[in-house]
Amino acid sequence: MSAPSFDRDSDPVETEALSESGFTPEEIGCLLRLRDWYQQGGSDRVALIRPLEFLKFLRSSGQLPS
């Protein structure tokens, strides 16, 4: 099996904690990339989701008729 391929910027304490929790090196790499992706803006659907959340809020607060 190959050595773990973690990002150079990843926190060794964090990767060790994930490893001790039973995650494989491949899973840890995926989790760290996923975390970075979300921290850098995440989904391209955010522009669509925010207005829908606002409409849901307006409807639930009675400011938008059903």
DSSP state of 28: H
8 A C-beta contact, residue 28 and residue 6: yes
**Which tokens go with 6?**
């973690």
Residue found under tokens 């009675």: 62
* CA atoms within a 13 Å half-sphere pointing along the CA-CB vector of 34: 6
pLDDT given at position 56: 84
Mean pLDDT, 10 residues at a time, the chain of 66 residues? 50 88 90 83 70 83 78
